[in-house]
Amino acid sequence: MVSLAVEICGLKLRNPIMPAAGPTVRDGDALVAAAKGGAGALVAKTVSISPAEVPRPCMAKVKDSLLSAELWSDLPLERWLKSEYAKAKKTGLPLIASIGYKPEEIRELAPKVVKAGVDALELSIQYLGPDPTQMVEATKAAKETASVPVFVKLGPNVLNISDSAKAAEGAGADGIVAINALGACLSIDIENTLPMLGSASGYGWLSGPAIKPLALRCVADICRAVKIPVIGVGGITDGRDAIEFIMAGASAVQVCTAAITRGPKVYGLIADEMTRFMRVKNYNSIEDFRGVALRHLPEQPLRTRAKPPEVLISKCTGCGLCEKYCVYGAARMIAKKARIDPSKCYGCGLCVSVCPARALRF
């Protein structure tokens, strides 16, 4: 019997998929929609002492990813404390409040938000700069004033993400969330020469599939550096992505951009895809495969000699993608089946990664 249920810092989740702070969790109604869409826990939009003055336009699609300049919640804190968290709590799911930014702001916000009934805090440190000193102070402030688990959300722009995670753990953090969006980035509308976003600089933060490999590397690094649970976020769009993060050591995942582009049903779809994968692989629980890929990372021997991939002929559908992608002219379709010429193969691995039928393997 496959179960997706996980327990993180005492929070019981029906599945390990939750929204990440962003526009899809901008108020209580949006959080209720995320719960109905199948999320295992809820994370609310970051709140700070004063509402944000969000520049417009604040979102632009860049290929299959997103550039944004949305900042934190533009709703007054009082409204969150009075009604929005309460609406989300009625779903019965664990509710994590995201709060930002400076240590003195966290000290003021944490007890108020906890009093409003949230089950855990997530600290956003996105605007504190690459040095971990302020993040450590913010974490201590939250731990001193709040009685619930405290997660620290790290961005990829810190000096060294493992060191930052260790510093957060040392300051008392109960878990790490990684990563926030990557920036600053720029996109230009070539029809009118203007930046796509209306922020003061025209710059924004990149999220979605483009940052997934970066997020996965950060999660793997953090999981090897700390003992506290890690929640992975960055470019997750389907069940296979979520499983990759769990295999890299994450205890759960968050989704923002895919929920913007596909709607709140995406959480349930990801959960269903994970269940199907787990059935095929005979995994009964998330713990059965959490972190299984980590052991290969430090031990992977460096290989500079080309080793051609093996073709599983019965699986090959003859689609020809391997031939199309092979820059070395080694992959060829013969009688509608892939063949690799070992004398030409560079062993680059691109064909293995593009084969939709998984008919190529090392």
- Write down the least CB distance from residue 317 to ligand FMN, Å: 31
| Integer Cα distance of 135 and 128 in angstroms | 7
Q: What is the DSSP string of 247-259?
A: HTT-SEEEESHHH
| Integer Cα distance of 123 and 100 in angstroms | 6
Cα–Cα nearest to 34, from 80, 104, 92:
92
Q: To which H or E segment does residue 261 belong?
A: helix 257-262
- Write down the least CB distance from residue 116 to ligand FMN, Å: 18
User: Please, which residue, 174 or 338, has the CB nearer to ligand FMN?
Assistant: 174
- Write down the least CB distance from residue 258 to ligand FMN, Å: 6
Cα–Cα nearest to 327, from 307, 347, 309, 313:
347
- Write down the least CB distance from residue 318 to ligand FMN, Å: 34
Q: Which amino acid is at 281?
A: K
Contact 252, 16 (CB under 8 A): yes
Neighbours of 189 (CB within 10 A): 12
User: Please, which residue, 57 or 347, has the CB nearer to ligand FMN?
Assistant: 57
User: Please, which residue, 70 or 119, has the CB nearer to ligand FMN?
Assistant: 70
Contact 208, 64 (CB under 8 A): yes
User: Please, which residue, 220 or 255, has the CB nearer to ligand FMN?
Assistant: 255
User: Please, which residue, 66 or 110, has the CB nearer to ligand FMN?
Assistant: 66
Per DSSP bridges, beta strands 252-255 and 194-195 are unpaired
| Integer Cα distance of 17 and 26 in angstroms | 18
Task: Give the position of tokens 């520049």.
Answer: 55
- Write down the least CB distance from residue 208 to ligand FMN, Å: 5
- Write down the least CB distance from residue 354 to ligand FMN, Å: 22
Task: Summarize as ranges the residues that interact with ligand FMN (CB under 6 A).
Answer: 20-23, 45-46, 59, 66, 68, 70, 72, 98, 124, 126, 153, 180-181, 207-208, 211, 233-236, 255-258
User: Please, which residue, 22 or 249, has the CB nearer to ligand FMN?
Assistant: 22
- Write down the least CB distance from residue 253 to ligand FMN, Å: 9
CA angle (294, 353, 288) in 5-degree steps: 35
Neighbours of 296 (CB within 10 A): 9
User: Please, which residue, 149 or 234, has the CB nearer to ligand FMN?
Assistant: 234
